[in-house]
Amino acid sequence: MVDSVFAPLPIVRTAADLRAKVRRWRAEGERVALVPTMGALHDGHLSLIEAARREAERVVASVFVNPTQFAPHEDFSAYPRQEAEDARLLARVECDLLYAPTVQEMYPVDFATIVSVGEVTETLCGAKRPGHFDGVATVVAKLFNQALPDVAVFGEKDWQQLTMIRRMVRDLDMPVRILGVPTFREADGLAMSSRNRYLTPEERRIAGKLNKALAGAAAYVARGAPAEAASEAAAQALREAGFAKIDYLEVRDAENLAPVKVWDPARPARIFAAAHLGKARLIDNLPIGSP
């Protein structure tokens, strides 16, 4: 289909304008779903919009590259920004509204409040990226307060982020339902990510091995193998394939992220990895046994 069939997507840049739109929909009895993103949208994001459309009459996507979740040495300035293309893609999947605030709108000069969720943020990516999850929790709490959605949709690729957001919503009695959507993958299993574009063609060929190594280790652990031995074998395979550094490759409880030594089929568990390949830091996770 040609894009001219799709009306251009309305864009708002202030919380006040967003609220006004949402208030009108709610007055008509329509439910509102929010899909928070940092833009550079790919098919994984579009699958979140599609899931949101099944949950609510109206779907708002936010695109905001959130400075507070990047450490000074990370890729905040290099992070891909392509608002016009994002708006075009969102219109094609019949998103109703794009909320694209400026940094000043989100963080006025005297902004001082930080949301910190505690234990589930201190491990895995949180241990390697201090402050990252405080930045995510703070901006997501703000987005929830600005949009007042009935439901908010997040990808399972960032399982620790999803776990943290569920905990924040529960702890702070936020009136929003959180929906997690399974990871959208390329044909070779690579989890879709805006950061995959940092990979060279040779690195892209290697990148699919992350998912395969996790799947192999998950299968061993599901059959009763000790989690540490299975994880170490997978990490070694990734090093041999060309991954420069493995931040972690570990089996954890799926709900509280506590370490798992031998899987107890009565508890959901997942295997998690973050590994560096060229300029990209790739993350992925898979369930142990059936999800």
Interface with ligand PAF includes 66 (CB under 6 A)?
yes
Cα 258 to Cα 277: distance, rounded to the nearest angstrom: 27
The Cα 119–Cα 63 span in angstroms is 28
Name the minimum Å distance from CB 167 to ligand PAF.
Answer: 14
Active-site option among 45, 73, 132, 276: 45
Residue (of 34, 10, 234, 254) closest to 146 by Cα position: 34
Q: Which of 12, 18, 38, 282 binds ligand PAF (CB under 6 A)?
A: 38
**What is the nearest approach in angstroms of ligand PAF to the Cβ of residue 14?**
18
Is 59 a binder of ligand PAF (CB under 6 A)?
Answer: no
By the rule CB under 6 A, 36 interacts with ligand PAF: yes
Q: Which of residues 153-212 bind ligand PAF (CB under 6 A)?
A: 158, 161
DSSP annotation string for 113-158 = ------GGGSSHHHHHSTTHHHHHHHHHHHHHHHH--SEEEEEGGG
Stretch that binds ligand PAF, among 113-121, 135-143, 243-251, 267-275 (CB under 6 A): 135-143
Binding of residue 149 to ligand PAF (CB under 6 A): no
Annotated active-site positions, please?
A: 45
Residues of this chain that interact with ligand PAF (CB under 6 A) are: 36-38, 66, 69, 136, 139-140, 158, 161
